[in-house]
A and B are shown apart, each in its own frame.
Chain A
């Protein structure tokens, strides 16, 4: 019984230490990520990059036609 009591106290203290560490640790975009809005940014990045790559492919093909003339 006594052992169990100590175990509970120890686990409570441990969880407090753990909590203190997360709140004092370096700030990261945790809430931003958990809200899911980061996916919007990734989508925007993907669209921009896809457009650039498509444009490069277009130029590449056009150049090839010019070379074959």
Chain B
């Protein structure tokens, strides 16, 4: 009854929640045990970016085929992505407090970039709700979606790499260079990414079906 990949996502996350707490991790100053957050904080963001990518693919699909279903999926995926950015921001803020010493820092381009990207996507939903005509709304939203995705990509993937960032792999942060190579952590990190991406797809699947159902119900009346 339940699709196999949904069960797989639950099993993968279950594995990362248990083994992620028990396996041995590199001993680093400042980070200490919080290095395990890599298993939980980072995959959440992967899921968010995946959902936004899913959303833009269906936006383009809608523009080429003009179908209602693609518009519904595009909208629901953007919602799911925005939802995942909330725990992403909260966990990041928590982690920052105990390693960088502050809840939020404007020194880090990735934090500011993600905040701007979230505002851009909030504008997407405001844009949607402000247009009454169905076809018009779907098409304008799809065009804006492409713009939003490109801006998000620039703000969180490109700009942080051009300047100095506290995030690993963006500016100079030698403390993380070690974990980048640690095969012990990869054994948990990669399953965590796959698990959370599939989990976000599960949530999207439910939201999509619900939206389709309410759409067909509204059109009956």
Chain A positions within 8 Å of B83 at CB level: none
CB atoms of B17 and A61 under 8 A apart = no
B29 — which chain A residues lie within 8 A by C-beta?
26
- Interface residue B202 (Cβ < 8 Å from any Cβ of A): yes
Between A and B, 20 residue pairs with Cβ closer than 8 Å are A25-B27, A26-B30, A26-B32, A28-B33, A29-B32, A42-B18, A42-B22, A45-B17, A46-B14, A46-B17, A53-B10, A56-B203, A56-B206, A57-B6, A60-B6, A60-B202, A63-B206, A63-B213, A64-B1, A67-B213
A26 close to B28 (CB less than 8 A): yes
A67 touches B209 (CB 8 A): yes
Q: B23-39: which have CB < 8 Å to A?
A: 27-33
Contacts of B205 in A (CB 8 A): 60
Given known pairs A28-B27, A29-B33, A49-B13, the reply for A42 and B209 (CB within 8 Å) is: no
- Chain B residues with CB below 8 A from A46, complex form: 14, 17-18
Indicate if B86 sits at the interface (CB-CB under 8 A): no
Determine the distance from Cα of A7 to Cα of B159 in the docked complex, in whole angstroms.
57
Q: Out of A27, A29, A45, A56, name the residue touching B18 (CB < 8 Å).
A: A45
Beta-carbon contacts under 8 Å, A28-69 to B:
28-29, 38, 41-42, 45-46, 49-50, 53, 56-57, 59-61, 63-64, 66-67
Report the contact-size class of chain B (Cβ under 8 Å from the partner). Answer: 20 to 34
What residues of chain A have their CB less than 8 Å away from a CB belonging to chain B? 25-29, 38, 41-42, 45-46, 49-50, 53, 56-57, 59-61, 63-64, 66-67
What 1/0 mask marks residues of chain B from 189 to 221 whose CB sits below 8 Å from any chain A CB? 000000000000011011001100100000000
- Closest B-chain residue to A56, C-beta based? B202
Residues of B within 8 A of A57 (CB): 2, 6
Closest 7 CB pairs of A and B: A53-B10, A26-B27, A26-B29, A45-B17, A29-B33, A42-B18, A42-B21
A42-B1 contact in complex given A56-B202, A60-B206, C-beta closer than 8 Å: no
Complex partner residue of B32 from A28, A42, A49, A61, CB under 8 angstroms: A28
User: How many whole Å from A63's CB to the nearest CB in chain B?
Assistant: 5
Distance from A66 Cβ to chain B, minimum over Cβ atoms (Å): 6
Minimum distance in angstroms from B204 CB to a CB of chain A: 12
Q: Which of B27, B28, B33, B209 contacts A63 (CB 8 A)?
A: B209
The interface centre, meaning the residue of A49, A59, A64 with most chain B CB atoms within 10 A of its CB, is A49
Q: How distant is the Cα of A38 from the Cα of B22 in the complex, in angstroms?
A: 8
Q: Are A49 and B213 in contact (CB under 8 A)?
A: no
| A-facing residues in B113-171 (Cβ within 8 Å) | none
| Chain A positions within 8 Å of B27 at CB level | 25-26, 28
